[in-house]
Amino acid sequence: MIEVQGLSVALGGRPVLSDVALTVRRGEWLAVIGPNGAGKSTLLRAIMGLIPCEGSVLFDAAPLGRPRERARTVAFAPQTPGLPPDMTVFDYALLGRTPYIPYLGRESRRDREVTASVLDRLDLTALAGRRVENLSGGERQRVVLARALAQEAPVLLLDEPTTALDLGHQQQVLELVDHLRLADGLTVVTTLHDLSLAGQYADRLLLLADGRAVASGRPSQVLTEALVGKHFDAHVKIEPGPDGRPVVHLVRGR
């Protein structure tokens, strides 16, 4: 469970997040949505303890510990991480196992098995021996996700996990995350630009605008034409999809 209270962040002398609160229970999926620059990535980085912030961030009622312990609690897939050159896809994903490998020790057979299994589930087995710098944008994105999933942490923070992915791989990644949180009780927080995908997969949405939480609740409570129109400055039509969850359509000719 993640509990965030009174979270405020200033970057470059400017407030970027102001007094944000959220709670995500075990096995729950929260999608953070909002226009460009709203503070979505900053929120994930602050929850991860990667930037200084005011307020309280607790995981199962305790603050995050030192980096090694933190990596066993929460896995983070950033939006545009720098990938080390001269590293294969397999070795990069294996980095997710670092918190389980003893200092000055080597990875175990299980570490390699977990890594191979995650690569398989993300359709990356054929690329395992390729160098990460030669991958396409969508392949890189899946490799970054593979590293985070190989960590087997109970909390997963994903920053825009599907932006570079084709339709089939978007579905594959989101279905895999959904399966993991239902089967293993993973707690999931993702930022997502695609509002329909956010509404389809997440239990709850948090709408950020100008660094403030302006709405939160079930997809049907947050994805309304009034809220989306106002905060994204967009003209949209929102209708229930086949499963009753809201689907957001852009309307031409504003």
Ligand X SMILES: Nc1ncnc2c1ncn2[C@@H]1O[C@H](COP(=O)(O)OP(=O)(O)OP(=O)(O)O)[C@@H](O)[C@H]1O
User: Which residue of the chain is nearest ligand X when measured via CB?
Assistant: 12
120 DSSP 8-state letter: H
For the CB of residue 43, give the shortest distance to ligand X in the complex, in Å: 7
The residues in 177-216 that bind ligand X, with binding defined as CB under 6 A, are: none
Give the containing element (helix H, strand E) for 230: helix 225-232
Question: Using the rule CB under 6 A, is 41 a contact of ligand X?
Answer: yes
Residue whose pair of structure tokens reads 């200084």 in the numeric block: 52
CB 83 within 8 A of CB 132: yes
Distance in Å, CB of 45 to ligand X, minimum: 8
How far apart (Å, rounded) are the C-alpha atoms in residues 221 and 240? 12
Residue 23 lies near ligand X (rule: CB under 6 A):
no
Choose the stretch contacting ligand X; rule: CB under 6 A; options: 12-20, 70-78, 122-130, 240-248: 12-20
Helix (H, G, I), strand (E, B) or coil at 47: helix
Instruction: Compute the least distance from the CB of residue 221 to ligand X, in Å.
Output: 21
Residue 49 contacts residue 62 (beta carbons within 8 Å):
no
Region binding ligand X by CB under 6 A among candidate stretches 10-18, 114-122, 123-131, 231-239: 10-18
Interface region with ligand X, contact rule CB under 6 A, candidates 7-15, 89-97, 122-130, 161-169 = 7-15
Edge-to-edge strand list for the sheet holding 204-209: 74-77, 155-159, 187-191, 29-33, 204-209, 212-217
- Tokens for 138? 């969508």
For ligand X, the binding residue among 2, 7, 24, 39 (CB under 6 A) is: 39
Q: Which region among 38-46, 54-62, 112-120, 218-226 touches ligand X (by CB under 6 A)?
A: 38-46
Interaction site with ligand X (CB under 6 A): 11-12, 14, 16, 34, 36-42
